[in-house]
Structure 1
Amino acid sequence: MATDELTSRLLDSAEGAPDSVIDVLHELLDDSAIESSAAPRSVAEAARLVGLSPHTLRYYEREGLVRPARDASGYREYAASDLRRLVFLTRMRLSGMTMRDLRRYIALVEQGPDTIPERRRIMLDQRDRITRQLRELTLALETTEYKLRVYGGHPDG
């Protein structure tokens, strides 16, 4: 699902009940946006659905982050699980997760449930980075709002 659409749906859900954002995200990633029963998607269709370029999808494949099946003609076929992984990768890259950390995380996922403690540690570290980024962005926003007030009154005007 494209970033703008995902963001809009999450923000809309947060207006009435902020605690439901995670539930909405799970719904979007697990069921409604990417149905498990849906037919496999081509590179172009997958790219459009998740808001990435076909070049980026191929890059993620070369990096071992996603491994779509191939049809009889050798064309990539992105299954629902591949699309959900692409959405995850997109969210993590947007949040600043390094390719090195993503490769490590995906390698652990593919090793199975025994790696859950290490995967959890990676996600806890990422949460800490995101929280720090949010604080820094909040400070930058406050600074911007201050300058807008200095330059002519209320920032919304």
Structure 2
Amino acid sequence: MNYSIGEFSKLTNLSIDTLRYYEKEGLITPERKENGRRYYSEKDVTWIAFIKRLKETRMPIKEIQEYAKLRAIGDKTMAERMEMLIKHRTALEEEIMRANENLQKLNEKIDFYKSAIDEKLIL
């Protein structure tokens, strides 16, 4: 199925301006009809979902652009793309570990306050 930019915008929950920005930055390359109008396919829906996932995991836009360039080249870049994702996964795992450590310390402080407050209420 093919989608106009408006339909694709609604489907992906991205504004038309964002889609045009992604195109300008080389993240997406929609097909064009004879009249020059953009159209998007199901493959583009899947690709945008992956871009959004990478952004949610805080992959820098420059890295997403590099990944998109490699993807456009084709299957011969699969090893490079995999290495990029492995590197990003490692960074994400480290970030999650730090976040969990910080969450633990916050929980310890909250527990301290609860105990101190409960102790004062009892006295």
Tell me if both proteins adopt one fold, taking TM over 0.5 as the criterion. Answer: yes
Shift of 1:73: 4.3
Unmatched 5+ stretches in structure 1:
1-38
Q: Looking at secondary structure, tell me which structure has more helix per residue.
A: 2
Number of matched pairs: 115
Amino acid at match of 2:28: V
Structure 2 residue runs of 5 or longer lacking an equivalent are 116-123
Query: Which of 46, 49, 58 is the equivalent residue of 1:96?
Result: 58
> Greater relative contact order: 1 or 2 (C-alpha under 8 angstroms, separation 6 or more)?
2
Q: Aligned to 1:139, which of 101, 108, 114?
A: 101
- Structure 1 segments, 4+ long, off by >6 Å, are none
1:56 offset after TM fit, Å?
Answer: 1.5
User: How much has 1:49 moved relative to structure 2?
Assistant: 2.4
User: CA offset at residue 52 of structure 1?
Assistant: 2.3
Which residue pairs with 2:32 in the alignment? 70
The residue identity in structure 2 corresponding to 1:136 is R
**1:121 aligns to 2:83 (yes or no):** yes
Cα RMSD of the aligned pairs, angstroms, is: 1.8
Structure 1 residue 123 displacement after superposition: 0.9
CA distance 1:151–1:52, change in 2 (3 Å) = farther
Give how far 1:72 is off.
4.5
Name the TM-score, length of structure 2 as normaliser. 0.81
Is 2:8 the partner of 1:46?
A: yes
Residue 17 of structure 1: aligned partner: none
Over the matched positions of the two proteins, sequence identity in percent amounts to 29
User: TM-score normalized by structure 1?
Assistant: 0.65
